[in-house]
Amino acid sequence: MNVGKLPTIRADFRGTLGDFNLDASFEVPARGVTALFGPSGCGKSTVLRCLAGLQHLPGSFCAINGDVWQDRKIFREPYQRPIGYVFQEASLFLHLSVRRNLLYGAPRDGSGSESGSIPFDEVIDLLGLGTLLDRSSHHLSGGERQRVAIGRALLSQPKLLLMDEPLSALDRLTKDEILPFLERLHQRLSLPVIYVSHDMAEVERLADHLILMQAGSVLAAGPLGILQSDPSLPLAVGRDAAVNFDATAGSYDAAYGILTLQIDGGQLLVPAPPVAAGEGRRLRIAASDVSLAREAQQASSILNALPARIVSKTAVGPSEVLVVLALGPDGGGAKLLARLTRRSWDLLELAEGMAVIAQVKGVALAPARGQVAAVLAAPTRSG
């Protein structure tokens, strides 16, 4: 690892596969969850396979924490890379029991007990595998199989976890069963994850960083909130544009059932069940749920009116505009999106750089650990 430098994943994969041309280059921090997001067939799974060494594109480069896995001369075989890989289909070894599947990749020299490793009991607990251990791998539901596959990958003590659309082969209910496990994983283990998905709802719940891909190349890479609020990217101008925030729970008003959440540059009030102060929660504010006012409204049913500054305005279609806001009176906080009619923009005589009040009509709070669907406030989100 390079001393004094944050651990990063650097990759530059280029090559032709059939008539598909891949030219994907990015650098992301080797911590938290990085989503590789893009439409089907854009090459995101290929990038993941290249990272694992399952696909060898000569002339490519990849290094994790300064440790070179591939360059002109080096090519580390998949089994020589400290990765965990979760495939779209669970791909359990059908000739082995659940327990032996889980332990297949576990270090056999006892090095699994050293510090920094992921203990067996913790994985069993985290993924709720206790009752499955002695079952044959044939008689598991789709969700159970995928949980075992995730556990198996974790127990190989990887330094990087690669997940290739681990939920896409599952039905909606099973997805909702597994997502909380992935969120717990994220909270409890300090293991960098690259997560391939074409489902923005999954990305919004899990990702800290985002690599946006399109037709074999990388459009942008960076923190989730930054990319979500970049009007030059397709995410922000899309119909369901939204920004996610990692909020910290503050005081709780039990009389009204209202939770105060602290985000970068403001404070939000959200109807919610009690949450311990200091607990982290992810929330989502859709661009269509934010309206703007020139000054604070004295009489309004809107719970959340946050001072903000207008950063930019982008026309979306003939009659709407997308406004990027920076929270806080001085605009020093996180970015927020608002989608307005062009008429309102003109009538209020809004302009870039102006101080405004962002009225937030709905805040969606990600469910707590293990809780399946406690989606609050007006907008319902697709899981």
Partner 1 sequence: MGGLPADIWQPVRLTVELAAITTIILLIVGTPIAWWLARSKAWWKEAVAAVVALPLVLPPTVLGFYLLVVLGPDGPGGALAGLWGGRTLAFTFEGLVIGSVVYSMPFVVQPIRNSFAAIGDRPLEVAATLRASPRRAFWTVAIPLARPGFLAGAVLGFAHTVGEFGIVLMIGGNVPGKTKVLSVAIFDYVETSQWREANILAAGMAIFAFIVILAMTLLEKRIARISA
Identify residues 277-296 at the interface with partner 1 (CB under 8 A): none
Question: Can residue 83 be called a binding residue for partner 1 (CB under 8 A)?
Answer: yes
Stretch that binds partner 1, among 74-82, 274-282, 304-312, 322-330 (CB under 8 A): 74-82
Minimum distance of partner 1 from residue 97's CB (angstroms): 13
- Neighbouring residues of 143: CB distance < 8 A, sequence distance ≥ 6: 170, 174, 177, 178
- Pick between residue 103 and residue 275 the one whose CB is nearest to partner 1: 103
Among 52, 140, 310, 323, binds partner 1 (CB under 8 A): 52
Site track 112-151 with partner 1 (rule: CB under 8 A), x = hit: --------------------------x-------------
Burial of 134 (0-12, 13-18, 19+ CB in 10 A): exposed
- Selected from 29, 32, 78, 234, the binder of partner 1 by CB under 8 A is 78
We find the least distance from the C-beta atom of residue 91 to partner 1, in angstroms, to be 5
**Cα angle: 93, vertex 97, 99; to 5 degrees:** 105
Residue from the set 26, 37, 69, 87 that interacts with partner 1 by CB under 8 A: 87
Instruction: Compute the distance between CA of residue 64 and CA of residue 160 in angstroms, rounded to an integer.
Output: 9
Q: Is 54 in the site for partner 1 (CB under 8 A)?
A: yes
**12-to-16, 46, 57, 119, 252 alpha-carbon distances in Å:** 14, 12, 10, 33, 47
CA dist., res. 60 & res. 109, Å (int): 33
Q: Which of 261, 247, 231, 222 is nearest to 339 (CA)?
A: 231
Which C-beta is closer to partner 1: that of 104 or that of 252? 104
Q: How far is the CB of 144 from partner 1 (least distance, A)?
A: 17
Residue 9 contacts partner 1 per CB under 8 A: no
Among 4, 19, 58, 94, binds partner 1 (CB under 8 A): 94
Q: Say whether residue 152 binds partner 1 (CB under 8 A).
A: yes
Give start and end residues of each alpha helix (H) in 85-171.
98-103, 120-127, 142-155
Q: Which residues contact 349 (CB under 8 A, 6 or more apart)?
A: none
Distance CA 239, CA 246 (A): 23
Enumerate the β-bridge partners of residue 197.
37
Please name the amino acid found at residue 135: R
- Give 77 or 330: the residue with its C-beta nearer to partner 1: 77
Residues lying near partner 1 in the complex (CB under 8 A) = 52-54, 77-79, 82-85, 87, 89, 91, 93-95, 104-105, 107, 138, 152-153, 156, 162
